């Protein structure tokens, strides 16, 4: 639907849902009790959507639709986080939990490790891998030797024992 009732600019999810429900209601489509309460709560807190919904054809309240009390939604929740380009529409706090402006530039205040810190972490990790490699090589070279205090006591290792030639297939 285009015309004077449309408002330029992107709208958030709550606004879009309320406008879709208002279109359904004005088109005599069935709208559940829950959806009716959502629509009334949003239209009660959002003047832009209320004006838009009143401009729809057949926007009068029909019998049976106003029987329940509207759900209460705070103006902050009704306004939501719709980014429609207007600064006056935002009803929430302008400061964060630390007391700083929410829309401040985040120059120099990174939310992750800096490049230098990342390089240090990678360097430590690579140093650990190099130490692990050389430590393993040293341990293998030291532990893979026969003990020097163990005498050769096998009968074939004694000096007068005759050594046999290896078979031809192994030469």
For residue 109, what pLDDT band results from cuts at 50, 70 and 90?
A: low
Q: What is the pLDDT of residue 168?
A: 81
Environment class of residue 52 by beta-carbon count within 10 Å: exposed (0-12), middle (13-18) or buried (19+)?
buried
- In this structure, the answer to whether residues 63 and 17 fall within a common structural domain is yes
Torsion (CA) 145, 148, 151, 152 in degrees, nearest 10: 40
- Considering 66, 82, 98, which residue would you say is the last residue of a domain? 82
**Torsional sign, CA 146, 152, 154, 156:** positive
Q: What is the pLDDT of residue 78?
A: 55
Number of domains in the chain: 2
- In this structure, the answer to whether residues 73 and 125 fall within a common structural domain is no
- For residues 22 and 20, give the distance between their C-alpha atoms in angstroms, rounded to a whole number: 5
Q: What is the pLDDT of residue 118?
A: 93
For residue 94, what pLDDT band results from cuts at 50, 70 and 90?
A: confident
When pLDDT is averaged across residues 103-129 and rounded to a whole number, the result is 85
pLDDT tens digits along 6-56:
444 456 778 888 888 888 888 778 888 888 888 888 888 888 888 888 888
Domain housing 46: 13-82
Report whether 9 contacts 85 (CB < 8 A): yes
Does some domain include residue 68? Answer: yes
- For residues 45 and 161, give the distance between their C-alpha atoms in angstroms, rounded to a whole number: 107
Q: Which 8-state DSSP code applies to residue 91? A: -
Does some domain include residue 165? Answer: no
């Amino acid at each position: 639907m285009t015309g004077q009732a449309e408002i330029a600019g992107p709208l958030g999810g709550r606004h879009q849902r309320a406008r879709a429900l208002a279109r359904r209601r004005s088109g005599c489509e069935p709208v559940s009790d829950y959806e009716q309460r959502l629509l009334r709560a949003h239209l009660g807190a959002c003047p832009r959507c209320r004006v838009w919904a009143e401009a729809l054809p057949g926007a009068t309240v029909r019998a049976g639709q106003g029987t329940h009390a509207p759900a209460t939604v705070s103006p902050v929740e009704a306004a939501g986080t719709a980014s429609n380009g207007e600064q006056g529409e935002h009803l929430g706090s302008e400061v964060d939990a630390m007391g700083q402006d929410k829309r401040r530039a985040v120059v120099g205040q990174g939310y992750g490790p800096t490049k230098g810190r990342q390089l240090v972490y990678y360097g430590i990790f690579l140093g650990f891998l190099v130490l692990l490699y050389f430590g393993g090589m040293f341990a293998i070279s030291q532990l893979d030797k026969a003990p020097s205090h163990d005498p050769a006591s096998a009968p074939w290792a004694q000096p007068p024992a005759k050594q046999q030639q290896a078979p031809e297939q192994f030469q």
